[in-house]
Chains A and B, each alone.
Chain A
Amino acid sequence: AQSVAQPEDQVNVAEGNPLTVKCTYSVSGNPYLFWYVQYPNRGLQFLLKYITGDNLVKGSYGFEAEFNKSQTSFHLKKPSALVSDSALYFCAVREDYGGATNKLIFGTGTLLAVQP
């Protein structure tokens, strides 16, 4: 069965410092991996996705993520955090198993708090 783990409930980082939000996944086929961000009282906003090709994916708002097949990880990174990056971040996976449903399996979310 597909699953996603976000081992950290919260990540604290000072503004200007690099940030990493961790995600590991488990699938039996090829994974399609996504990061979404949720600001308070708002829906999820798409940040970036990995489908195939280059392991380093660049997305919105200066975020990037690195796909590591051997470690089954897809960590979200940003070189310099902003206070406005403070939000709830969700990693999600969809498995390429040839099935009809394209549902996403989500992690439990990581709250990113950037201190000024």
Chain B
Amino acid sequence: DSGVTQTPKHLITATGQRVTLRCSPRSGDLSVYWYQQSLDQGLQFLIQYYNGEERAKGNILERFSAQQFPDLHSELNLSSLELGDSALYFCASSAGLNIQYFGAGTRLSVL
């Protein structure tokens, strides 16, 4: 168990809908990262938060947004969903600039 908790494990929704993925980092970790794993793009970095502030952005679509709350949990919001958004979404956390621990992922299926 990595100590990073992601909910839900699976999500099935329809095109055009909006969903929220939740992540609780390891105790004491201030940094949270979101990654997307799809068949065509592989594993890619989306966005990073550090202690409530956005720290770095990767290949994140404008339809996607994230935030980190005062209790350090994070949410990734995906809106106007398309078939191509179907993927495994991972959250990771770290204490500073070192090893990242990954959650079990949320598998999103857009039908």
Asked if A pairs with B, the answer is: no
What is B's interface to A at a CB cutoff of 8 Å? none
Chain A residues packing against B (C-beta within 8 Å): none
